[in-house]
Structure 1
Amino acid sequence: MSASTLASLAEKAVKWSAMTTVARFVLQLGAQVALARLLGPGNYGIYGIGIAVLTFAGFLAGAGFSWNLMLAPHVDDDDVRFAFTWQTLAGTAMAAAMYFGAPLLADFFGDARVQPMVRWLALACVLTALSAPSICLLQRDLNFRVLGLVQLVSYAMGYLAVGLPLALAGWGAQSLAMAAVVQAAVLLVGTYGARRHPVRPLWRHATGGQALDTGRTVFYTNVVNWVLGNLDRIIIGRLLNAHAAGLFTLAYNFAQIPHSLLVNAVQPTFLASGAKLSAEPQRLAQAWMLVLGCVLVLVLPAAVSMSLVAPDLVDLLYGSAWNEAGWVLAVMFLCLPAWTGWGLSTPVLWNTGRKHQEALLQLPLLALALPAWWWITPHGLRGAVLVSAVVIYLRAGLIVAAGLRALGMSGSVLLPLLLRGGLLALWCGVATRAAQALVEPLGLPAVSLAAGTLAALAAMAIVVWGLPHLLGEQARLALSRLLPFVRAAAPAGVPPVAKGSEA
């Protein structure tokens, strides 16, 4: 495929992915606010525990088998049949394990509501495993228009059409479990209908070793990521209570919404198109630096401003029962640059033959994080949240550093981006806090939220309209695609790949 054709397909894919992700953000925000108000922190905590178990079971269910369908240079029907066969087997096995292990999990967390939650989510586990081949094939085709629309409809059907009415009917935490099951079922039907594939079993295949190797790597990587990403809420639920777990889950999930907007819109396209650039590290490096430039220069100031308005946001949307989550959300918003930079850097490792490094590099961090959480969490929720934030930034640093090494680049290339982003974050943060201080005597969260948000937007608008050169070439190039009046800087390329690099 020519460079111009690939670039055109990738750009269309990003635009469709971005549009559908924004629409899903609106639905997700509305559903989350309504369900959180109806159910309260305790029920939300049970849901958070159940989702953590479901995510781990999903990794064991072999979703990694389908990754090879997206990453392999060539794919035929036998590749698809092999992946689907093993995913069906693994998904069924893990669903059974969840169902029969639910009583033990309820005893571990000391809450009987965990048992029915996990048993319902066992069904979502097998449905999710079955849909993985079609999803990866759609991503391979860069058909993010269809995939995004199906994801949008499945979320709306699950959480708005089913979850919300059940919550109003008094189903409690189980309304969220049923919503997850319906979402998984609609996603399976929609993705398979859009990208049909053979389903006849195939237990052995000539390239099965490669698929299994990719599956094992994805599995190990996802297990490490799951432990570092979910162990905090597991320990909070075990050492504190479901109420504290609910506060953390809501704040974490809310902060993940803007992160998902960015990463889900770009990462799959970057991964799929990057696989086609694996033999051209210079072009891969140029694309990655454009991504990191946007994260450090644009996401960092947004994260600081969002952190400052977080308490007002929680008070306005969720009510006084959730006020303790305001501080947690403020810290989680500050993690947005790390989450996004890390999520958009892992494709570099996968596309340069270093897919195993994502898990291996994080293992020492896991050995440090586990005792830190276990020792600090009994002293209160805030201590556990701070440990989580430190872990998130350390993980991001490890993955970005590995990406730089993979492409033979020096870490010094990020210093100008960090400086620009830091100065813009200070500028927007001061503007946000000053506006909040002006209206603080009124004691109205809605007014404080509006004032802080408008001040942050005005501060950034002054830079974008009046001083665009302060953004740097990467951020200006990205913004010029959305805002034509922002003149793109002439591309300066990236440092050459070091001789002898394995990329």
Structure 2
Amino acid sequence: MDSSRASRKIVRNVGWSILSKVAVFSLKFVSVPILARLLTPAEFGIVATGMIVVFFLLLIGGAGLSAGLIRAEREDPETQDTVFWTNLTVASVLGILLYFNAAFVAGLLGAPEAKWLLEIFAFLFPIYLGADVASSILSRRMAFAKDAFWNVVSEALGAIAAIAAALGGLGVWALILQQFVSAIVRWCGLMFASRYVPRFRFSSAKLRALFGYGSRIAGADFANFISFQSPLVVITRILGLSDAGAFSVANRLSDLPNQIVLSGLMGVLFPAFSTMADQPERRSRVLMQSTQMTSILLAPMLFGFGAVAEPAMNVVFGAQWTYAWPVLGLLAVAKGIMTPCGSFIPFLKATGHAGVLWWFALARAAVIVVGTWIGATLDGLIGVCLALCIANVFIMIGYAAVVFNVAKIPMRAAVDCVILPLGSAVAMAALVRILLGYARPHIASDLLLLLAGAAAGTVIYLLLMFATQRGALTSLLALRR
């Protein structure tokens, strides 16, 4: 496949992946505020705490085996069946262990009242892991249109079920139902789309061949999981479930831009980088382009979110959540700092640097845990979010130094990829924040204030981009064509 045709295929699949994320974003933009108005912060907090355990055990159960299927030179049905039955067996064992040790796990999380919820969530593991092989088959085939379709359908049906249950007065059960409906629909849909039918066969030799690479990937994913989820555990233990619920709601809203652009891009880049094993120069070029484009598109969304956090919180969630607007703003800034890193993890995974990924993820997890614990102790929720912002500055710099060194990308190109987009986004957000401060006494409506801030931010950022990065804008338009 020639270079231009391959590039078009990557861009097309990124488009499909991002399109699905836009659809999911739209669903969550409607469903999360509705649920937030019908449910209490404590109810959101207890479900968020329970899902931490689910995601943690899923990392252990998967052991990175699906990543090995994507990176393999060719599809092998026997290896796929081996991974499927391994995942299903491990998930079932983990579910049983959680069910009978729910009280102990809930106590570790600082939420003993979540025992009953963990017993219910114990049945989620086989459903989630059962879809891993089908998902990896679609990713390997770059069939992201099918994957996107079933992700949207599962999220839509889960959201509809949750809203209906909440309106029916079922309380926290609405959020539980949402998780089960989405997981079941996704599993069935991906199995149908991939045409994968597992057979009763198993190869210990092929499992061992995957396990070496997969275990390092799983170790890195585990460390990243600690980085992402430990703040909620720290908040639950030190500050309580209500503050955990406020953090969870703000985190969901601030993470929507990442779910639209970043997760869609990362899902495509890993198999794409894997196909360029014999083209290191081209792979480095794609890394540089994807890093720059991700920063250009995502950084203004997140830093802009931070600038308009106060009216956004009031408009989206209502008066009962107004107190949490600084949490929303700081979380958006913390995520904005990390926007250049969207292509780094797929690059390291695809180039076989799983060991580097593991050690860096471990160091990142340690910094996040210590920093958020200190922040929560000193200044509550605000302290946690400030600690995340400070830690992410050093983490982003470290990631960039490691990845650009591996890819042999010169420092000047790295500056163009990272510093200019982030600097433009920070300057835009600061100006918008100043403008909203002047406008607040004259605009009573939070909705109008939010729209004014979004419009001003768009104009300011485009002017800054035109002044500093005309070449990048030209490349973005070329990719669109």
TM-score bracket relative to the smaller structure = over 0.9
- In the other structure, the counterpart of 2:319 is 320
C-alpha deviation, 1:346, in angstroms = 0.8
CA deviation digits over 1:141-199, x for unaligned, max 9? Answer: 11111100100000111122x11111222222232122101100000000001112242
- Give the counterpart letter for 1:246 in structure 2: G
- Tell me the distance in 2 between the aligned counterparts of 1:110 and 1:307: 30
The DSSP-based 3-state class of the residue aligned with 2:440 is: helix
Instruction: Write out per-residue CA displacement over residues 287-333 of structure 1, whole angstroms, 9 at most, x where no aligned residue.
Output: 11111212334433333222110111011111121112211111111
Q: Cα 1:9–1:286, aligned 2, differ >3 Å: closer, same or farther? A: same
Alignment of 1:36-435 (within 5 A): 36-62=36-62, 64-109=64-109, 111=111, 113-160=113-160, 162-379=161-378, 380-425=380-425, 427-435=427-435
1:235 alignment partner AA: V
Q: For 2:346, give the aligned amino acid.
A: P
Return closer, same or farther for 1:376/1:481 CA change in 2, 3 Å cut-off. closer
Show the 5 A alignment for 1:431-442.
431-441=431-441, 442=443
Where has structure 1 moved over 6 Å in runs of 4 or more? none
The answer (yes or no) to whether the contact 2:235–2:381 under 8 Å persists in 1 is yes
CA distance in 1, matches of 2:269, 2:257: 18
Give the Å deviation of 1:83. Answer: 0.9
Shift of 1:431: 4.5
Q: Distance in 2 between matches of 1:38 and 1:341?
A: 36
Residue 256 of structure 1 deviates from its aligned partner by 1.3
1:304 and 1:123 map into 2 onto residues whose CA distance is 38
Instruction: Report deviation, 1:416.
Output: 3.4
Counterpart position of 1:499:
none
Query: Greater shift after overlay, 115-124 or 1-10?
Result: 1-10
Secondary structure of residue in 2 paired with 1:207:
helix
Report if aligned partners of 1:57, 1:98 keep a CA contact under 8 Å in 2. no
Partner of 1:490: none
- Cα-to-partner distance string for 1:360-401 (whole Å, 9 max, x where unaligned): 123234344433333331331111121222333333333322
- Unaligned runs of 5+ residues in structure 2 are none
* Contact persistence 2:79–2:203 (CA under 8 A): no
After TM superposition, the structure 1 stretch with the greater mean CA deviation from structure 2, 420-429 or 210-219, is 420-429
Q: Distance in 2 between matches of 1:471 and 1:332?
A: 27
Instruction: Find the aligned partners of 2:249 and 2:132 in 1 and give their Cα distance.
Output: 27
Amino acid in the other structure paired with 1:349: L
- Return the alpha-carbon distance in structure 2 between the equivalents of residues 89 and 414 of structure 1: 45
Q: Which deviates more, 260-269 or 389-398?
A: 389-398
What is aligned with 1:500? none
Structure 1 residues not aligned, in runs of 5+: 485-503
Going from structure 1 to structure 2, the CA distance change for 1:177 and 1:205 (only over 3 Å counts) comes to same
Letter in 1 for 2:256: I
**Per-residue Cα deviation, 1:433-454 (whole angstroms, up to 9, x for no partner):** 3542343113331121111111
> What's the RMSD between the two structures over aligned residues?
2.1
**Bigger shift: residues 337-346 or 146-155:** 337-346
For residues 354 and 227 of structure 2, the distance between their equivalents in structure 1, rounded to whole angstroms, comes to: 18
